[in-house]
Amino acid sequence: SWISDLAGYTGSSLELDLYGGYKGSFGKSDFGYDVGAIYYYYPGKKLSGTIDVNTAELYGALSWKWLSAKVNYAATDYFGVDEGKGTYYIDLSAAYPIGNLSLLAHYGILHVAGSPGGASNDDAFGYSDYKVGASYALPQGFTVGAVYTDTNAKAAGYTVNGKNWADGQFALYVQKSL
């Protein structure tokens, strides 16, 4: 599970993600699988006149060595999007290892289901995104990395308090594995 404070959302001050699944490989091969479910829960009262933002997703992934393909499917309305049940996200990723260095690449497609009132949710909220970068494994379980992400999401659907969340971003990170 995972928990976060949502200071910008007035209907709830908390996001709680509950998830479970099963991950394994096919025999002793380099092929793997991962299946499961995630429930995004926002406790508190629902805003008047809005759709429930709590969302249940099912996912399945296949992998081979450093390549993976994953699909997430919304089993409920998608984060408050009217008629959003059936929304899916396709994630194609690679993490090619060269010693302690890994070259990272990702391409994703979000298809948002539904057409309430004849207006396509996908036209308003659907997008494709990509990420490129590299990471370097350090001693004692630390990893440092740099990535650039961008998307073709329409600003009208992803601008909050004057900030377009769909703009390209460069990020540096430090990670610790336990």
Q: Dump pLDDT digits (tens) for 68-121.
A: 999 999 999 898 888 999 999 999 999 999 999 999 999 999 999 998 888 888
Does residue 41 lie within any of the structural domains?
no
Does residue 45 lie within any of the structural domains?
no
Percent of the chain with pLDDT over 90: 64
| pLDDT for res 147 | 98
pTM of the entire structure? 0.87
- Give the 3-state secondary structure of residue 43: coil
| pLDDT for res 8 | 55
Q: Do 141 and 178 meet the contact criterion of CB atoms below 8 Å apart?
A: yes
Provide the domain count of the chain: 1
Does residue 20 lie within any of the structural domains?
no
> Is 60 exceeded by the pLDDT of residue 18?
yes
Shortest CA distance to 104 belongs to which of 136, 73, 128? 136
| pLDDT for res 35 | 99
Does residue 12 lie within any of the structural domains?
no
Does residue 150 lie within any of the structural domains?
yes
Does residue 39 lie within any of the structural domains?
no
The whole domain housing 91 covers 29-34+56-176
Does residue 62 lie within any of the structural domains?
yes
Q: Residue 81 belongs to a domain with what CATH number?
A: 2.40.128
Split at pLDDT 50, 70, 90, the class of 175 is very high
Does residue 133 lie within any of the structural domains?
yes
Q: Do 51 and 81 meet the contact criterion of CB atoms below 8 Å apart?
A: yes
